[in-house]
Amino acid sequence: MLCGMSIDAAAGKPGKFRLVYWNIQNGMWDGQDDDYQRFTDWVKEQKPDVCVWCEAQPIYNNGTAKHQDALQEWRGDERLMDMWKRLGKRYGHKYIYIGGHRDNYPQVVTSRFPLESVARITGNPDTLVSHGAGWVRLQLADKHVNIVTLHTWPQAYGYNVPTEDRERSKAAFEGDKFRRVEMEYICRHTIGTDPDGAEGYWMMMGDFNSRSRVDNWVYKYPDGDTKLLVHDYIRSETPYIDIINDRDPHSFYSSTWGRSRIDFVYCTPKLSAAVKEAHIHLDSYTRPVRDEKIKNFYHPSDHRPIIVDFEL
């Protein structure tokens, strides 16, 4: 779905801002060969005010599926912060936030506006958040806008299930059930801490690795299918609105290379009412193309970005 609004429509005006969210697959693996110049040129063209990048850390050596020898050096986040300060500078963002993560798949927020780090979420010994989540706040005009980022468990089997037990775990739908627990934990520790959250300005976005019941006219899963648990929880237990579906409920747009919408931007009612344009973006650069040699690697990513324009 291509944007019907001019690229600079939301940029540089009080109360208006543009959000770009994108799962950039393994830290924009595709961009290593030119030091991410194609990537940052594309971002600059969109004129975003805030960006949320999922899978924001490089993992593999350039053009290969081999893990970087220096992978351990990323774990302290200092190198990751330096990388995003450098890349953000190219497209005009000086403020950087790294969400909580217990593995190699962090989310990073970059912004033209100052960012207040509220929480980095990884769970606790009883409830893990596999790829982590984050909560950051920005001041826009006279409004506090809360941004929650997340990336839930991707597998059909449960978290940390040993190889020999994975088929049993899949058959018991433990991956879907684990994602549902992750989702509740994230919501309880972000918008759930705010008694006035339903009346405030909150957005939550990420790679949910889950399908929504609102798209089930496409998927045709049984009514009680566990694949729908995550978004059923959000829709029934939180004030969030799925802004892509809310604006075009009779259409379906995949957020991946295939036919699957697993990337979402949710907003509370006040913030949803401020959305002027929202779409899953597809152009000559963002269209996923499978690598000819390496299975499951895509150029530039196996996901498509979401672009949202707000006017508060």
- Torsion angle in degrees (nearest 10) through CA of 28, 7, 239, 232: -50
> Nearest 5°: CA angle at 28, between 266 and 290?
95
pLDDT of residue 102: 85
Beta-sheet strands, E only, within the chain: 16-23, 50-54, 95-98, 107-111, 115-123, 128-140, 143-151, 202-207, 241-242, 263-267, 275-280, 289-290, 298-299, 306-311
User: pLDDT of 238-264, one tens digit each?
Assistant: 999 999 999 999 999 999 999 999 999
* Interval 141-169 mean pLDDT: 96
> Above 70 in pLDDT, residue 3?
no
* Tens of pLDDT, residues 23-44: 999 999 999 999 999 999 999 9
- Stretch 157-185: mean pLDDT: 97
Residue-level length of the chain: 312
- List, in order, residues 6 or more apart from 185 with CB less than 8 Å away: 121, 123, 127, 129
**pLDDT, average across residues 172-179:** 98
pLDDT for 61 equals 83
**Cα gap 147→47, rounded to integer Å:** 19
Q: Give residue 10's pLDDT.
A: 44
Q: How confident is the model at residue 62 (pLDDT cuts 50, 70, 90)?
A: confident
DSSP for 189-209, please give it: TTGGG-TTGGGS-EEEEEE--
List, for residues 263-280, the tens digit of each pLDDT value: 999 999 999 999 999 999
CA 187, distance to chain mean position in Å, is: 15
